[in-house]
């Protein structure tokens, strides 16, 4: 009897060991998340900072078991990648892509508003952004029509020069190939880190609200995210713009 119990005990122990070996640990199952690949603008790469709205979107997606993976593309290519289904979403976009692309849905809750700043070198006080008789060149990111359209609305006399990356704009400004540089408010710290010269803020523009867009295969998720984004927006401190406050920083031009 004792021998039978011993054999049975060893059999149960062996069965448990085999089961434990073949089954993934509980913590592994809980930590596994589906990966959602979101694209964002190439000019956000290597800035040592989160793109705007990233924390808000990342936390909201986690509520539905998704881990966010960021990929970087030029603005126009990003839209094509999303519509073709090679990307799951576009992290933030002010233009409603669902109106132009059949396979794109917009998450109908704005992430935040953003502002743009116009900089000149402090060593160039002669550069007057308001002088309509001067042929000034301004660098602005390519593929962001909301920014370039608003700049031309306020400053129709400026000649826009489209740039791909922040460093390109900094190099052009420091070598006087452009007189002005327009950047999102969120990139001002990176500008000061990289540019050896001091700058003046001579203009500020308010940009439309930005939205998360998803491929249409995630249509239900797009609907589910609306109340989740609303909830987390109340909890998280997201950088947004106040045009009134920014205008107080403007340097008077001659």
In the DSSP assignment, the letter for residue 248 is T
Which homologous superfamily does the CATH classification assign to the domain defined by 29-112+210-241?
A: Periplasmic binding protein-like II (3.40.190.10)
Q: What is the pLDDT of residue 187?
A: 87
Confidence at residue 146, expressed as pLDDT on a 0 to 100 scale = 85
What is residue 8's predicted lDDT score, i.e. its pLDDT?
A: 65
Q: Domain boundaries in the chain?
A: 29-112+210-241, 115-207
pLDDT for res 234: 83
The CATH fold of domain 115-207: D-Maltodextrin-Binding Protein; domain 2 (3.40.190)
Closest of 124, 117, 169, 121 to residue 142, by C-alpha: 169
Radius of gyration (C-alpha) of the chain in whole angstroms: 25
Q: Please tell me the pTM assigned to this model.
A: 0.73
* Cα gap 55→19, rounded to integer Å: 39
Kindly tell me the burial class for residue 85, based on how many C-beta atoms sit within 10 Å of its own C-beta (0-12, 13-18, 19 or more). exposed
- Give the C-alpha separation, 68 to 226, whole Å: 17
Q: What is the pLDDT of residue 75?
A: 73
Q: Do domains 29-112+210-241 and 115-207 have the same CATH topology?
A: yes
Give dist(CA 248, CA 201) in Å, integer. 10
Say what the pLDDT of residue 225 is.
Answer: 97
List average pLDDT for each run of 10 residues in the chain, which is 254 residues long.
60 58 45 84 69 84 95 86 94 90 96 89 94 93 88 95 94 97 89 92 89 97 97 72 70 64
Give the Cα separation of 43 and 35 in Å (integer). Answer: 23
């Amino acid at each position: 009897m004792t021998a039978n119990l011993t054999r049975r005990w060893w059999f149960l122990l062996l069965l448990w060991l085999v089961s434990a070996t073949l089954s993934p640990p509980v913590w592994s199952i809980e930590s596994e998340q589906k990966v959602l690949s979101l694209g964002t603008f190439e000019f956000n790469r290597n800035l040592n900072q989160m793109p705007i709205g990233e924390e808000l979107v990342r936390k909201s997606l986690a509520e539905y078991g998704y881990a966010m993976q960021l990929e970087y593309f030029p603005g126009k290519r990003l839209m094509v990648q999303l519509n073709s289904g090679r990307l799951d979403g576009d992290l933030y976009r002010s233009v409603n892509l669902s109106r132009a692309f059949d396979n794109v849905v917009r998450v109908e809750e704005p992430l935040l508003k953003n502002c743009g700043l116009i900089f000149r070198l402090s060593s160039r006080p002669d550069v007057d952004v308001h002088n309509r008789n001067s042929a000034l060149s301004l660098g602005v990111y390519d593929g962001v029509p909301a920014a370039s359209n608003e700049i031309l609305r306020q400053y129709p006399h400026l000649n826009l020069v489209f740039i791909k990356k922040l460093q390109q704009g900094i190099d052009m400004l420091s070598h006087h190939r452009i007189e002005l540089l327009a950047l999102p408010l969120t990139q001002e710290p990176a500008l000061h880190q990289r540019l050896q010269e001091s700058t003046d803020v001579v203009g500020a523009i308010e940009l439309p609200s930005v939205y998360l867009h998803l491929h249409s295969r995630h249509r239900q998720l797009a609907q589910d995210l609306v109340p989740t984004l609303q909830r987390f927006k109340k909890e998280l401190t997201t950088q947004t713009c106040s045009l009134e406050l920014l205008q107080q920083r403007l340097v008077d031009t001659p």
